[in-house]
């Protein structure tokens, strides 16, 4: 059988592209963001939802699965799982092969309505173009740390969102351990780790500038 080219991939800076399997997302992982949407921050365990791998895109413009006038941007640190984590195993940074910045593009009104009705968030969170990622940085250019600072500019509005992973309620090892408590983590799984406060509207054609402080990278894209 010919090899399928219908595999969604992400790019690693200066290395090449690698396939993606599952896309896990953490909700309400920053207390101030939970508060700005009127939600209580989770205490016991992370809130997890999924995006299909077909939702994935890079920073170049792509068709979006819904024709809404506005979406909401959520900038997040994104992890690429490099080595599998067995069901029930304890996770740590050694399982992470790459980091990137990403935007969890959200249909906020749809999400609010679904939430109010007690229905799944899928059509608010998972659609073509909703999982936006910068190029990934391999382990050789960063070290595992509690604090990664990042920001998002939309058009000429700098610092629409400014965040630091030090403010995450559940840190990277805790997220990995929790995910592996009910699913084996596979090589190629992505994890969106949650967004800080400052989420807001963004529309098709808007310019997006994603900045990581250390290692220092600035990525430009367009919705
Ligand atoms: Mg999010």
- Look up residue 76 and give its two tokens: 């997040």
Alpha helix (H) residue ranges in the chain: 31-36, 108-116, 122-125, 172-180
Ligand 1 center–CA 61 separation, angstroms: 20
Ligand 1 center–CA 192 separation, angstroms: 7
* Residue 7: predicted pLDDT: 79
Q: Can you give the pLDDT of all 223 residues of the chain as single tens digits? A: 444 556 799 999 999 999 999 999 999 999 999 999 999 999 999 999 999 999 999 999 999 999 999 999 999 999 999 999 999 999 999 999 999 999 999 999 999 999 999 999 999 999 999 999 999 999 999 999 999 999 999 999 999 999 999 999 999 999 999 999 999 999 999 999 999 999 999 999 999 999 999 999 999 999 9
Q: Return left, alpha or beta for 128; rule: phi > 0 is left, psi -120 to 50 is alpha, else beta.
A: beta
Report d(CA 102, CA 133) in Å as an integer.
4
What global pTM score does this model have? 0.96
Ligand 1 center–CA 165 separation, angstroms: 13
Ligand 1 center–CA 120 separation, angstroms: 15
* Residue 203: predicted pLDDT: 98
* Residue 6: predicted pLDDT: 67
* Residue 201: predicted pLDDT: 97
């Amino acid at each position: 059988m010919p090899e399928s080219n219908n595999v969604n991939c992400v790019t690693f800076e200066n290395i090449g592209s690698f396939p993606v399997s599952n896309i896990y997302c953490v909700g309400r992982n920053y207390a101030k963001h939970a508060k700005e949407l009127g939600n209580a921050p989770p205490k016991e365990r992370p809130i997890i939802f999924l995006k299909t791998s077909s939702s994935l895109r890079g920073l170049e413009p792509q068709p979006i699965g819904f024709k809404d006038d506005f979406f909401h941007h959520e900038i997040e640190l994104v992890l690429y799982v490099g080595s599998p984590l067995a069901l029930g195993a304890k996770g740590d940074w050694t399982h992470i092969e790459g980091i990137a910045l990403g935007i969890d593009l959200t249909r906020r009104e749809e999400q609010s309505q679904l939430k109010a009705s007690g229905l799944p968030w899928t059509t608010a969170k998972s659609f073509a173009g909703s999982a936006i990622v910068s190029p990934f940085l391999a382990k050789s250019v960063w070290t595992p740390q509690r604090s990664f600072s990042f920001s998002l500019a939309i058009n000429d509005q700098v610092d629409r969102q400014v965040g630091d992973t030090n403010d995450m309620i559940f840190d990277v090892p805790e997220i990995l351990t929790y995910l592996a408590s009910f699913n084996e983590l596979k090589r190629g799984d992505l994890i969106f780790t949650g967004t800080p406060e400052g989420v807001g509207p963004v529309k098709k054609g808007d310019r997006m500038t994603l900045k990581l402080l250390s290692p220092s990278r600035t990525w430009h894209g367009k919705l």
